[in-house]
Amino acid sequence: MQGVVKAYDPATRLGVVVRDTDLAEVELADDALAGSVFRMLRQGQRVVFDLDDDGRATRLRLGSEVDLGTRPFPTESIRHGGAG
């Protein structure tokens, strides 16, 4: 699943992720960051996660628009000042 971090408190490690599919709020499991690249989370950060047996977000990983299957922006040549 994929979603966006709504809130995270590094002191208590409590947090909430909003799931992309239905905008449901999912609490973070106690081990949500265990073994991940994250030391902490910031509001608005896109993440990929699994649900544990209690329906809490666990195994957080980096998320991106590519993971959503959305089409990329068209690439265009952009000139940065000067002739040529």
Question: Would residue 38 count as lying in a domain?
Answer: yes
Instruction: Return the residue matching tokens 């809130």.
Output: 7
CATH of the domain at 23: 2.40.50.140
Looking at residue 48, what is its pLDDT? 94
Token digits for 19? 């799931």
Question: Would residue 10 count as lying in a domain?
Answer: yes
**pTM for this one?**
0.72
Domain that holds residue 50: 2-64
18-74 pLDDT per residue, tens: 999 999 999 999 999 988 888 889 999 999 999 999 999 999 998 765 545 544 445
Question: Would residue 17 count as lying in a domain?
Answer: yes
Q: How confident is the model at residue 4 (pLDDT cuts 50, 70, 90)?
A: very high
Looking at residue 75, what is its pLDDT? 53
